[in-house]
């Protein structure tokens, strides 16, 4: 299998909070890559540093964060050296984010169609925005009529699809999905994961999936990095990690995935 060209290369990234005795190394020498058209998962429990690593790609980490070392190369650009103005041009247009609570990304007083249009207007000039909204809703398997709906009129799964449509409004090259299914029930989780997998194939999207749950990476991720206490403790092809984990922490995470067990003696 031909190796994919890397769209993202993170090397020895360190992100610290506080100083002196209160220093917290949230991310401590982390390295990972994402290939073009590839889906990569960062897996770890809450506080492992995975979300801070993802936020740091475009310097979206909290203001108190100090980028203490390492480099982030996206399409050959040194992200940590870019100004806020330069980063704003990349956020949304080249790197988009979706989060676990879709309502936090949507304004309750505007229709979904209006909000998707605003995302288009921000980064694309001279396009038919109404037609583009319809195309994006179709891409995420939502009917056109929902363009006139308000967020409170929609289900959690529909809202997350709308957020994905907004994230895709400017044809980004990398989608960062930070726990995108946590707030959804199991059936809807599967639908959203299937949609992300379909989009990766259909539009050649690269995806960085952030999750604490090994159960959702099996069918979606090409490769997995396991994070614990700000460090990557294991990495490899998804199948290799799932069937032959080496690190004790990886084994513990996998043991935490709910399974249906047959009744004893039945």
Confidence of residue 2 (pLDDT cuts 50, 70, 90): low
In this structure, the answer to whether residues 177 and 152 fall within a common structural domain is no
Structure confidence by residue, pLDDT tens digits, 37-54: 999 999 999 999 999 999
3-state secondary structure of 176: strand
pTM of the model: 0.91
Residues contacting residue 7 through CB under 8 Å, at least 6 positions apart: 34, 35, 36, 74, 75, 173, 174, 206
Res 264 pLDDT > 60: no
pLDDT value of residue 261? 47
**CA 34, CA 53: separation in Å to the nearest integer?**
13
Residues contacting residue 149 through CB under 8 Å, at least 6 positions apart: 111, 112
| Total domains in the fold of the chain | 2
Structure confidence by residue, pLDDT tens digits, 140-173: 999 999 999 999 999 999 999 999 999 998 889 9
Per the structure, the complete domain to which residue 225 belongs is given by 6-94+172-255
3-state secondary structure of 35: strand
Res 209 pLDDT > 90: yes
Res 36 pLDDT > 60: yes
In this structure, the answer to whether residues 115 and 232 fall within a common structural domain is no
In this structure, the answer to whether residues 36 and 137 fall within a common structural domain is no
In this structure, the answer to whether residues 127 and 239 fall within a common structural domain is no
CATH classification at residue 251: 3.40.50.300
Confidence of residue 69 (pLDDT cuts 50, 70, 90): very high
């Amino acid at each position: 299998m031909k190796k994919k060209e890397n769209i993202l290369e993170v090397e020895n990234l360190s992100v610290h909070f506080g100083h002196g005795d209160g220093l917290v190394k949230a991310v401590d020498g982390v390295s990972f890559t994402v290939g073009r058209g590839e889906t990569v998962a960062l897996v770890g429990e809450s506080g492992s540093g995975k979300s801070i690593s993802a936020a740091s790609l475009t310097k979206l980490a909290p203001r108190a964060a100090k980028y203490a070392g390492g480099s982030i190369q996206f399409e050959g650009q040194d992200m940590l050296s870019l100004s806020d103005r330069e980063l704003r041009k990349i956020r949304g247009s080249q790197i988009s984010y979706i989060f676990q609570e879709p309502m936090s990304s949507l304004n309750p007083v505007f229709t979904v169609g209006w909000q998707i249009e605003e995302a288009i207007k921000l980064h694309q000039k001279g396009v038919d925005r109404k037609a583009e909204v319809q195309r994006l809703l179709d891409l995420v398997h939502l009917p056109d009529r929902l363009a006139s709906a308000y967020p409170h009129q929609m289900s959690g799964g529909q809202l997350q699809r709308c957020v994905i449509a907004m994230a895709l409004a400017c044809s980004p090259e990398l989608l960062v999905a930070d726990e995108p299914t946590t707030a959804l029930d199991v059936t809807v989780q599967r639908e959203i994961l299937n949609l992300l997998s379909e989009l990766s194939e259909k539009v050649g999207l690269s995806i960085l999936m952030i999750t604490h749950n090994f159960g959702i990476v099996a069918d979606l991720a090409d490769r997995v990095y396991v994070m614990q206490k700000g460090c990557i403790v294991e990495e490899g092809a998804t199948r290799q990690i799932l069937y032959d984990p080496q690190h004790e922490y990886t084994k513990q995470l996998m043991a935490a995935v709910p399974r249906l067990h047959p009744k004893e003696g039945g």
